[in-house]
Amino acid sequence: EPEVTQTPSHQVTQMGQEVILRCVPISNHLYFYWYRQILGQKVEFLVSFYNNEISEKSEIFDDQFSVERPDGSNFTLKIRSTKLEDSAMYFCASEGTGWTGELFFGEGSRLTVL
């Protein structure tokens, strides 16, 4: 069964460092998302991406964040200069050829900022 894969599963970084989280969505999907979950809190929407551009972003997704689909298969989230409060589980998700609300999530990348 096709699945969304994310790497790394866990990354520890120093405050101020750049981090890139990688995702390989399901191959024929067109909509891509990043969500995050700070420990003990809600799963929060960060950004949606369609047709090689951002469709919508939340207020969390400030200038320190960027997304890219560099090669038609990977979908990356970059945090330019990490802060302590960026520590969270980051989930990538993809959706098929038309909006259905059925997002397929990866297992998540846990980011720890020290």
Partner 1 sequence: AQSVTQLGSHVSVSEGALVLLRCNYSSSVPPYLFWYVQYPNQGLQLLLKYTSAATLVKGINGFEAEFKKSETSFHLTKPSAHMSDAAEYFCAVTDSGGSNYKLTFGKGTLLTVNP
Examine residue 112 and tell whether it contacts partner 1 (CB under 8 A).
no
Q: Which 59-88 positions form the footprint of partner 1 (CB under 8 A)?
A: none
| 14-43 footprint of partner 1 as x/- string (CB under 8 A) | -----------------x-x-x-----xxx
Examine residue 99 and tell whether it contacts partner 1 (CB under 8 A).
yes
Maximal CA-CA distance, the chain:
40
Measured in degrees and rounded to the nearest 5, phi and psi for residue 61 equal -80, 80
Task: Measure the CA–CA gap between 38 and 35, rounded to whole angstroms.
Answer: 10
Q: What is the DSSP string of 13-24?
A: E-TT--EEEEEE
Q: In DSSP terms, which residues pair with 69 in a beta bridge?
A: none
CB of 86 to partner 1, least distance (A): 19
Task: Measure the CA–CA gap between 104 and 113, rounded to whole angstroms.
Answer: 27
CB of 15 to partner 1, least distance (A): 27
Residues in contact with partner 1, counted by CB under 8 A, come to a total of 26
CB of 81 to partner 1, least distance (A): 25
- What SS3 state is found at 86? helix
Q: List contacts with partner 1 (CB under 8 A).
A: 4, 31, 33, 35, 41-45, 48, 50, 55-56, 58, 91, 93, 99-108
